[in-house]
Amino acid sequence: MSGYSRVLLLQTIIYRFSHKSMLEYLHSHNFTEAYNALKKDTGTEYTPDPKAKYAGLLEKKWTSVIRLQKKVRLVHSDPVCVAE
């Protein structure tokens, strides 16, 4: 398998994983119309399962993004780091 093929395969896996975590979030918060629309638009086969690995994943990602943003702001506010 070439490097390009591996990248395409990885991107496909990431998109499917992202779609399923978004579908799980929408379903668990009773956004039925949005859930059905995303499922149809992406062509993702998914049956909601609160015990699945996708449950709570989106919230965890959001939390980690916020944490990283705080760290970036902290680094940018430090004059020693900015000078380097």
What does the pLDDT average to over 15-35? 83
- Count CB neighbours of 78 within 10 A: 11
The predicted structure's pLDDT at residue 24: 85
pLDDT grade for 58, boundaries at 50, 70 and 90: confident
pTM of the model: 0.55
Residue type, 28: S
Helix runs in 1-84, H state only: 3-28, 32-42, 57-77, 79-83
Kindly report the CATH number that applies to the domain delimited by 3-83.
1.20.960.30
